[in-house]
Amino acid sequence: MKPFYGLDFGTSNLSIAIQNGEGTQVLPIDGQNKTMPTVLYFGPSGGEPIVGQSAMLRYVADGMSGRFMQSLKSVLPNSGFTGTYLDRLGFADIEDLIAYILRDVRQRANEQVGMDIDRAVFGRPAEFSKDPEEETMAIERLMKAAKLAGFNEVELQLEPIAAAFHYEMSLDREEVVLVADLGGGTTDFTVTRLSPKRRRKRDRSKDILSTGGVYIGGDKFDSAVMEMKLLKYFGQDAEYNSWEKWMRFPSYLVRGIMQWQEIAFLKDTRTMRVLNDLVRYARTKEDKECAIRLLTLIDENLGFSLFQTIETAKRGLSTYDSDCIYFNQSAIKIVEPIFRNEFDEIIAFALEEYEQCVDQVLADAGVSNGRIDSVFLTGGSSLVPCVQSAFANRFGEDKLRRGDTFISVASGLASSQLLS
């Protein structure tokens, strides 16, 4: 058979595996790492963009200037975002931006395997959008980006189904499995029948009993922590004098920093004027300090660094009962402890959404909790203890299966029969 890649283009990370007829192998794609941050950086001096960990390091080294882009996958169903202007490179469509990343990854993989491979099975979420038109547009954009990157033969496979195929390789008997792919941007669920015999079938559609998903992932966890723990440092409850009236800091500014990707868009002439007024007319000394932090965060584009500290603390809570969100740059110094039980309360909204989605996919599959033989958890958010506990409480700890958290989808895509 002709070799092909299984490519998991995730909201936060990317991984790639090769199928050469003798089995699958996940390739180290970012140095020795088998995952690569799905980020893109255009430096202030122009030139070709940088991707992955190198992009993150260069962005910080350049004083966070230039254009740093993350979570591009989440933009695919957004009809309001068609592209952006990139100085010397002109206007780039969203497909062009994603193609920069995919082209670089394809080149890296080809160099490792010593051949030019232009065939790939790409992962896609169970739903890009509830809107059928946006769903179609997202698929068309992803396919176009893949073609621009040099992939001439492309198939799409649902990411949770790919994760199921990865898990199936470890089975020696038939099981009805709930697969939960808990990623950075979305969470997808699939109920499917798996077995060693079924693995050899090309058409697995009858084995897939149901699929579903929600638009909640690790990025939403970070935004929720920002809202509940850090907005107080940036004027959540602060006031300033406006036309001889005490007014709260504008909510569009304070709440506009809850997603670091949006912070750069706040830096315009009008907003900077408002921020300087907040500093000048703040009601108290503490309110003025909040205004200075808010001004500094936006003016110096420190959102990425701040959210990295949130991410670090979040990961720490997967191991320890407490951690600390520590940030000390320019005029912003934050030392904010966070406890695991507190974090659990902050993301309780996500667990409720998961619960409702699981209810629906089980109902669609026509199975009860007891009919599920195992629950396969994958994706970065599956490492969160309270997420694991939610599935253990519902299905039983003995049914939980974990493994290859960040590469199971790519492995499953490469084991797919779609291009065999």
User: What confidence tens digit (pLDDT) does each residue in 363-411 have?
Assistant: 999 999 999 999 999 999 999 999 999 999 999 999 999 877 889 999 9
H or E element, residue 276: helix 269-281
Q: How confident is the model at residue 184 (pLDDT cuts 50, 70, 90)?
A: confident
Burial class for 158, CB neighbours closer than 10 Å (0-12, 13-18, 19+): buried
Mean pLDDT of 168-187: 92
- CA angle 6-11-14, nearest 5°? 35
Please check whether residue 286 lies inside any domain of the structure. no
Range of the domain at 48: 4-173+404-414
Please check whether residue 359 lies inside any domain of the structure. no
Specify the range with the lowest mean pLDDT, choosing from 83-87, 257-261, 340-344, 361-365.
83-87
Please check whether residue 183 lies inside any domain of the structure. no
pLDDT score recorded for residue 87: 67
In this structure, how many other beta carbons lie within 10 angstroms of the beta carbon of residue 114? 6
Q: What SS3 string covers 239-257?
A: EEEECCEEEECCHHHHHHH
In this structure, how many other beta carbons lie within 10 angstroms of the beta carbon of residue 384? 23
Which range, 1-5, 53-57, 320-324, has the best average confidence (pLDDT)? 320-324
Q: How confident is the model at residue 176 (pLDDT cuts 50, 70, 90)?
A: very high
Give the Cα separation of 277 and 268 in Å (integer): 14
Q: Of 18, 7, 230, whose CA–CA distance to 113 is shortest?
A: 18
pLDDT beyond 80 at 83: no
Mean pLDDT of 177-183: 94
User: What confidence tens digit (pLDDT) does each residue in 266-315 have?
Assistant: 888 999 999 999 999 999 999 999 999 999 999 988 888 899 999 999 99
Q: How confident is the model at residue 240 (pLDDT cuts 50, 70, 90)?
A: very high
User: Across the chain, what does the average pLDDT equal?
Assistant: 92
User: What confidence tens digit (pLDDT) does each residue in 144-157 have?
Assistant: 999 999 999 999 99
Q: How confident is the model at residue 346 (pLDDT cuts 50, 70, 90)?
A: very high
- b or e along 204-236 (b: 16 or more beta carbons within 10 Å of the residue's beta carbon)? beebbbbbbbbbbbbbbbbbbbbbbbbbbbbbb
Strands ordered across the beta sheet of 175-182: 208-214, 187-194, 175-182, 374-378, 400-402
pLDDT score recorded for residue 419: 79
pLDDT score recorded for residue 205: 79
290 with 234: CB under 8 angstroms? Answer: yes
**Tally of structural domains, the chain:** 1
pLDDT beyond 70 at 88: no
pLDDT beyond 70 at 342: yes
In this structure, how many other beta carbons lie within 10 angstroms of the beta carbon of residue 82? 13
Q: How confident is the model at residue 140 (pLDDT cuts 50, 70, 90)?
A: very high
Please check whether residue 105 lies inside any domain of the structure. yes
Please check whether residue 10 lies inside any domain of the structure. yes
Please check whether residue 237 lies inside any domain of the structure. no
| Torsion angle of the four alpha carbons 47, 51, 54, 56, in this order, in degrees rounded to the nearest 10 | 100
Please check whether residue 326 lies inside any domain of the structure. no
Please check whether residue 40 lies inside any domain of the structure. yes
Mean pLDDT of 159-182: 92
- What is the CATH number for 48? 3.30.420.40
